Amino acid sequence: MTANKTFLSGLFGKKRSGPAEDAPDNAARPPAETASEIAASTDGQADDAAVDKEEKPLKQGFFARLATGLTRSSQRLSEGVASIVAKRKLDDETLDELEEVLIAGDLGIAAAGRVREALARDRFNKEASEGEIRAALAEVVSKSLKDREAPLAIAPDRRPHVILMVGVNGAGKTTTIGKLAEKFRRDGLKVMLAAGDTFRAAAVEQLKVWGERTGAETISKETGADAAGLAYEALERAKRDAVDVLMIDTAGRLQNRKELMDELAKIVRVLKKLDPDAPHSTLLVLDATVGQNAISQADAFRAIAGVTGLVMTKLDGTARGGVLVALAEKHALPIHFIGVGEGVDDLQPFDAGGFGRALAGLSSPGKPG
């Protein structure tokens, strides 16, 4: 049993803590970065890489990139489930071990229990192949997430449709805005960006670069300016200029910093002075590498900003992709996009079936897996 637990503990990769959340840039309200610091910014490097990738022909479909990106979350499954389970009957002990590992892999108690139940129903006290284990996992994940699969709808009768982007530091808000701006541009929409992360000069510069590359006007102010005032002015101008989509960046903030969350609430209140329905979409950008902490982030941001949908980034950089299932169990929010890389086309509308199969290490639908 010890040997089995040792192997199974790697099913979704070893349980490891996500990167520590950085202290929010606006907590200490630092002075503006120098030009050299901006050039050296990690976000800026990622931004350049994203544009470079965008300009190259895509060599893979998104499912292939998703499957590749989720390798850390699925590779242990494909490496050894057969050696542990295939020649051993699925008795209670084996099923208990599997369930424990799925929970430890951030899948969540409810979903892990459903995988166990599915296997117990169909294969109890029988030998099970690696493919059967993975197929059961893929089916449970896909069904769990199907109701969360929803496109981001831009209302044509609103000019502009206001999208507020929120999340903690490092989740990828600014880069996600840039990628969405390019997607909207391709759809023929007029886009405006508002650099509401006014306490980090690098973020403002990064957003301006995205604006230039996507043809979107970027509204910004000096470092340290009031973010709510900037949002108000951006919405005024967007209304005047008949903009289709206004996306407002915000400073990264930890969900347990009340004063910073209050500042976010102020942005929402100010927008409603010009449009009682604004923001029309509030997207919470979550970093998959933080694992279960993504759930507490969703708790806090929903309470303050009225989150309407989710974007999950960095699924290619973690063994904890199963957290998306646990998140969906806790929060009945649509998952609009998932990201598995830095390129514009590495951010795609969420597809529950494809995600389930990729997480389980199976091929794309319609192909032998």
CATH of the domain at 122: 1.20.120
- Where is the domain boundary, 146, 180, 201? 146
Q: 211: domain range?
A: 161-351
- Where is the domain boundary, 146, 177, 198? 146
State the pLDDT at residue 5. Answer: 43
State the pLDDT at residue 54. Answer: 42
| Structural domain includes residue 26 | no
- Pair 285, 230 in one domain: yes
SS (H, E, C) the chain: CHHHHHHHCCECECCCCCCCCCCCCCCCCCCCCCHHHHHCCHHHHHHHHHHHHHHCCCCCCHHHHHHHHCHHHHHHHHHHHHHHHHCCEECHHHHHHHHHHHHHCCCCHHHHHHHHHHHHHHHECCECCHHHHHHHHHHHHHHHHHCCECCCCCCCCCCCEEEEEECCCCCCHHHHHHHHHHHHHHCCCCEEEECCCCCCHHHHHHHHHHHHHHCCEEECCCCCCCHHHHHHHHHHHHHHCCCCEEEECCCCCCCCCHHHHHHHHHHHHHHHHHCCCCCCEEEEEEEHHHCCHHHHHHHHHHHHHCCCEEEEECHHHCCCCCHHHHHHHHCCCCEEEEECCCCHHHEEECCHHHHHHHHCCCCCCCCCC
- Pair 140, 166 in one domain: no
| Structural domain includes residue 8 | yes
- Pair 105, 205 in one domain: no
Tokens for 197, please give them: 């992360």
| Structural domain includes residue 96 | yes
- Pair 190, 303 in one domain: yes
Count of domains forming the chain: 2
| Structural domain includes residue 72 | yes
State the pLDDT at residue 60. Answer: 58
Q: How far is CA 301 from CA 94, 252, 280, 285, 286, in A?
A: 39, 12, 16, 10, 11
- Pair 209, 81 in one domain: no
- Pair 90, 227 in one domain: no
| Structural domain includes residue 176 | yes
State the distance between the two ends of the chain, measured CA to CA, in whole angstroms.
Answer: 29
Find out whether 215 and 245 touch, Cβ atoms under 8 Å: no
- Where is the domain boundary, 77, 112, 146? 146
| Structural domain includes residue 51 | no
- Pair 142, 97 in one domain: yes
Instruction: Return averaged pLDDT per consecutive 10 residues of the chain, 369 residues in all.
Output: 40 38 36 34 40 44 72 53 59 82 78 86 78 85 92 91 93 94 96 93 93 96 93 98 97 73 89 96 93 88 90 81 87 93 88 89 58
- Pair 310, 345 in one domain: yes
| Structural domain includes residue 338 | yes
Closest of 241, 168, 178 to residue 205, by C-alpha: 178
- Pair 212, 78 in one domain: no
- Pair 248, 132 in one domain: no
- Pair 85, 229 in one domain: no
Find out whether 316 and 53 touch, Cβ atoms under 8 Å: no
| Structural domain includes residue 52 | no
- Pair 306, 347 in one domain: yes
State the pLDDT at residue 156. Answer: 86
CATH classification at residue 168: 3.40.50.300
State the pLDDT at residue 88. Answer: 66
For 278-313, give one letter per residue: b (16+ CB within 10 A) or e: bbbbbbbbbbbbbbebbbebbebbbebbebbbbbbb
